[in-house]
Structure 1
Amino acid sequence: MSNAPHEPSQASVSASLTQAVLHAASRLGLDRQALLTACDLCDEQLTDPDARIPFSAQQALWSELDARLLHPEPGLLLGRNLTPGPFSVLSYLLQSSATLGDALNTALRYQRLGGEGGELHIETHDDSLLLLYRPLHPQHPATRIRVLAMLACWVQMTTPLLDGFRLLGAQFRHDAPDDLTPYQDVFACPLQFASDEYAIALPHALCQVPLVQANPPLQQLLRQHAETLLARLPSASLGARVIGLLGEQLAHGEPDRAELARALNLSERTLQRRLAEEGCSYQQLLADTRRQLAEQHLRDGRLPAAEIALLLGYSEPSVFFRAFRLWTGLTPGEYRARHGAG
Structure 2
Amino acid sequence: MANSPLDSQHTSVSASITLAVLHAASRMGLVRSQLMSECGLSDNQLSDPDARVPFSTQERLWQALSRMPHGEPGLALGSNLAPGPFSVLGYLLQSSPTLGDALAAGLRYQRLVGEGGEVQLREQGDELQLLYRPLHPDLPATRTRVLALMACWVQMFQPLLNEWQLLRAQFVHAQPADLQAYQAVFACPLQFAATDYGLVLPRYLADAPLIQANPPLQNLLRQHAEALLARLPSAGLSARVVALLGEQLARGEPDRAELARHLHLSERTLQRRLADEGCNYQQLLNDTRRQLAEYHLNSGKLPAAEIALLLGYSEPSVFFRAFRQWTGLTPGEYRSRQQPD
User: What TM-score range do you get, normalising by the shorter chain?
Assistant: 0.5 to 0.7
Write the mapping of 1:216-235 to structure 2, written as runs, cut at 5 A: 216-235=215-234
Partners of 2:10 and 2:235 within 8 A in 1: no
Q: Does the CA contact (< 8 Å) of 1:168 and 1:189 recur in 2?
A: yes
Runs of 4+ in 1 over 4 A off after TM superposition: none
The answer on whether the counterparts of 1:121 and 1:132 sit within 8 Å (CA) in structure 2 is: yes
* Residue matched to 2:112: 113
How far apart, CA to CA, are the structure 1 residues paired with 2:213 and 2:115? 27
Identity in percent: 64
- Determine whether 1:52 maps to 2:42: no
Aligned to 1:176: 175
Task: Return the letter of the residue paired with 1:64.
Answer: A
Distance in 2, matches of 1:92 and 1:15, equals 16
Provide the C-alpha distance between the structure 1 equivalents of 2:178 and 2:100, rounded to a whole number of angstroms: 33
Mapped partners of 1:142, 1:235: distance in 2: 26
Deviations along 1:248-302, one digit per CA (max 9) or x if unpaired, are xxxxxxxxxxxxxxxxxxxxxxxxxxxxx99xxxxxxxxxxxxxxxxxxxxxxxx
Residues 36-185 of structure 1 mapped to structure 2, 5 A cutoff: 36-67=36-67, 69-185=68-184
Contact 2:120–2:130 (8 Å) recurs in 1 = yes
Distance 2:195 2:127 in 1: 19
Highest RCO, 1 vs 2 (Cα 8 Å, sep ≥ 6)? 2
SS in 2 for 1:20: helix
SS of corresponding position for 1:122: strand
How far apart, in 1, do the equivalents of 2:54 and 2:214 lie? 32
In the alignment, the residues of structure 2 paired with residue 206 and residue 159 of structure 1 have an alpha-carbon distance, to the nearest angstrom, of 12
- Using structure 2 for the length normalisation, give the TM-score: 0.67
CA drift at 1:170: 1.1
Alignment-derived partner of residue 188 in structure 1? 187
Normalised by the length of structure 1, the TM-score is 0.66
Number of residues paired by the alignment? Answer: 234
Are the equivalent residues in 1 in contact too, given 2:129–2:198 (CA < 8 A)? Answer: yes
The C-alpha deviation readout for 1:128-187, integer Å capped at 9, x for no partner, is 111110001100121000000000011011111001101001111111111001001111
RMSD: 1.7
Deviations 1:77-115 (A, max 9, x none): 000000111100000000000000000000010000010
- Unaligned runs of 5+ residues in structure 1 are 1-5, 238-276, 279-342
Q: 1:8: Cα distance to partner?
A: 3.5
Measure the CA separation in 2 of the matches of 1:154 and 1:32: 24
Q: Is the 8 A contact 1:9 1:56 kept in 2?
A: no
